[in-house]
Amino acid sequence: MIKAVKGFRDLLPHETPTWRRVEENARGLFEAYGYSELRVPVLEKTELFKRSLGDTSDIVEKEMYTFQDKGGENLTMRPEATASIARAYLEHALYHSDPVGKYYFFGPMFRHERPQAGRLRQFHQLDVEAFGTMSPSLDAEVISLLYSLYKHLEIAHLTTLEINSLGCRECRPIFRDLLVEFLNKVKEDLCPDCQRRIERNPLRVLDCKVKTCQRILEEAPTISQHLCPPCKEYQDMILIHLEDLDVPYIINSRLVRGLDYYTRTVFELTTSSSGAQNAVAAGGRYDDLLLQIGGKEIPGIGFAVGIERTLLLLHKGKSKNHCLPFHCYLAPLGPRALREGLKLAQKLRERGVRLEITHEEKSLKAQLRRASKLNVPLVLILGDEELKAGVVIAKNMKKGTQEPCPLDEERLLTYIKREEGP
């Protein structure tokens, strides 16, 4: 038997309603905040991610699905969307039509990681990106938009919003030197990955998940102590706005992100309830990214929501099942009734009625059993006698009562609406 590729998961029908609920809530909210949908392709030139994420990021070092196509071009299945959206924004010169570009995106991402709960090789993200504005109120608005999404989904209480600033071109190098000095002193005790990172990407050491490293790092200098005055002022202002907007947060001065393009603001929405994979969404400001990928000096900020991890949380929060139930069930008895029933079903469905019909020849008892299993409130029974009399028997499954109803689309529609109640 051929099975799915490792780390690539099927989404089964019982999961799609919750999935759609997340997606629909997000779309509504993002559009309310003035973001419009921009869709980017799955494949990009490998160079795009190398330049944006940085050669030393985990993604570029070991997680990308990269291959040469038949024409010998080096391509990568997108591991994240920010770089692609930034590329599209620059390529189509969207900044000409509006200096404030606000876009959202939804789609699959691909990373070759070790699959486990909440960690897949094809996973999905909802992305929000705002280009062209550098203002603490925008940062706060973007963060509060993320928080609002989880509030809408009724799981905000299961998450913690963590914020930090990574400084800018001025103050980050100074902090970096101090950090390297500290790390070299404790080098022997750090894990091999961290030892390697000291030279190549020391800030990433702060993000190490190894327990012994974390203990040692408690003594490390933090960037918040070394922010330059403009960066410090910028962050303070964000926090004021967040308080105005009633968004609860904590400052995590050790928070760094896995991608190299971030400047100043970074944030993560974490949860303690899904084990090791504790970030459900993350984002930050990237004022150098557009320049790095060969464009213009345009600032940006955004976030990515991990759908699968959010779904794990929703199941924890025991959120209601939002599967749409049927309005009625059509039970035809015999081939003639099936022909007529099929026509009637088509008409009612075109009018918005959610209706299920039996296609096999089944006894009335069997059909009623299935209707009751599907929890359908109303069953329309159609046999040869009903056809002759021009009626259909409407059976109310809850009350157990039944009555004939004229076999007429309009009359039936009124009847179904009335049975359904307000």
- Residue with Cβ nearer ligand ATP (21 or 111): 111
- Residue with Cβ nearer ligand ATP (175 or 303): 303
As measured in angstroms, the least distance from the Cβ of 281 to ligand ATP is 5
Selected binder of ligand ATP within 85, 142, 279, 330 (CB under 6 A)? 279
- Residue with Cβ nearer ligand ATP (166 or 387): 166
Helix (H/G/I), strand (E/B), else coil: 384: helix
Instruction: Give 276-322 as a DSSP string.
Output: T--EEEEEEE-SSHHHHTTS----EEEEEEEHHHHHHHHHHTTPPP-
Question: 408 with 368: CB under 8 angstroms?
Answer: no
Q: What is the C-alpha to C-alpha distance for residues 40 and 83, in angstroms, rounded to an integer?
A: 10
- Residue with Cβ nearer ligand ATP (171 or 281): 281
Selected binder of ligand ATP within 50, 309, 327, 395 (CB under 6 A)? 309
Selected binder of ligand ATP within 213, 216, 227, 281 (CB under 6 A)? 281
Stretch that binds ligand ATP, among 30-38, 158-166, 179-187, 302-310 (CB under 6 A): 302-310
β partners of residue 131: 101, 300
CA 247 to chain centre: 20
Element (H, E) at 409: helix 409-420
Write out the binding residues for ligand ATP, residues 70-109 only, by CB under 6 A: 80
Structure tokens of 182?
């500290």
As measured in angstroms, the least distance from the Cβ of 404 to ligand ATP is 55
As measured in angstroms, the least distance from the Cβ of 302 to ligand ATP is 11
Stretch that binds ligand ATP, among 38-46, 90-98, 139-147, 301-309 (CB under 6 A): 301-309
Pairing of β 391-396 and β 65-68: unpaired
Q: Is 284 in the site for ligand ATP (CB under 6 A)?
A: no
Mark 19-38 with x for binding to ligand ATP (rule: CB under 6 A) and - for no binding.
--------------------
Q: What is the C-alpha to C-alpha distance for residues 111 and 120, in angstroms, rounded to an integer?
A: 8
The C-alpha angle 36, 38, 42, rounded to 5 degrees, equals: 155
Q: How buried is residue 227: exposed, middle or buried, by Cβ count under 10 Å (0-12/13-18/19+)?
A: buried
As measured in angstroms, the least distance from the Cβ of 418 to ligand ATP is 46
Selected binder of ligand ATP within 140, 155, 280, 392 (CB under 6 A)? 280
Q: Is 111 in the site for ligand ATP (CB under 6 A)?
A: yes
Taking the alpha carbons of 42, 48, 49, 50 in that order, is the dihedral positive or negative?
A: positive
As measured in angstroms, the least distance from the Cβ of 119 to ligand ATP is 4
Q: What is the C-alpha to C-alpha distance for residues 255 and 207, in angstroms, rounded to an integer?
A: 7
- Going by C-alpha positions, the residue among 342, 312, 343, 334 that lies closest to residue 386 is 334
Stretch that binds ligand ATP, among 14-22, 169-177, 305-313, 406-414 (CB under 6 A): 305-313
Stretch that binds ligand ATP, among 213-221, 274-282, 384-392, 402-410 (CB under 6 A): 274-282
Residue 404 carries which DSSP code? E
Question: 94 with 101: CB under 8 angstroms?
Answer: yes
- Residue with Cβ nearer ligand ATP (120 or 392): 120
Euclidean distance between the first and final Cα of the chain, in Å? 49
Q: What is the C-alpha to C-alpha distance for residues 305 and 82, in angstroms, rounded to an integer?
A: 12
Count residues near ligand ATP (CB under 6 A): 18
Mark 113-152 with x for binding to ligand ATP (rule: CB under 6 A) and - for no binding.
x----xxx--x-x---------------------------
Q: What is the C-alpha to C-alpha distance for residues 388 and 375, in angstroms, rounded to an integer?
A: 29
Q: Is 49 in the site for ligand ATP (CB under 6 A)?
A: no
Mark 200-229 with x for binding to ligand ATP (rule: CB under 6 A) and - for no binding.
------------------------------
The C-alpha angle 153, 154, 160, rounded to 5 degrees, equals: 100
- Residue with Cβ nearer ligand ATP (264 or 309): 309
Selected binder of ligand ATP within 38, 77, 130, 282 (CB under 6 A)? 282
- Going by C-alpha positions, the residue among 74, 68, 62 that lies closest to residue 111 is 62
- Residue with Cβ nearer ligand ATP (135 or 160): 160
Positions in the binding site for ligand ATP (CB under 6 A): 80, 111, 113, 118-120, 123, 125, 258, 277, 279-282, 304, 306, 308-309
